[in-house]
Amino acid sequence: MATRHLSQIELAARWNLSHRTLERWRWTGEGPQFIKLGGRVVYRLEDVEAFEAAQARHNTARADAQVVA
């Protein structure tokens, strides 16, 4: 099965944010993993989905606080 890749523009559209935000995130080490092929930046769909899953929250408390059931 072929790996699906998203361009910076495609990912920005998926998340409804500026492609400049993704550029800043790469510079600061935030955001999903990316691959740089020559001068082109792409994101593997599996890395994007893993990043999205890691951002899921049950409440607005600190991200590192334990959830008590």
pLDDT tens column, 16-43 = 999 999 999 999 999 999 999 899 999 9
The answer to whether residue 27 is domain-embedded is yes
The answer to whether residue 64 is domain-embedded is no
- How high is the mean pLDDT of the chain? 89
The answer to whether residue 25 is domain-embedded is yes
The answer to whether residue 14 is domain-embedded is yes
The answer to whether residue 60 is domain-embedded is no
pLDDT bin (cut points 50, 70, 90) of residue 1 is: low
The answer to whether residue 65 is domain-embedded is no
Write out the residue range of the structural domain in which residue 51 sits: 5-55
pLDDT score of 60:
82
Model confidence pTM above 0.85: no
- What domain count does the chain have? 1
> 12-15: which pairs have CB atoms within 8 A and are 24 or more residues apart?
14/48
The answer to whether residue 48 is domain-embedded is yes
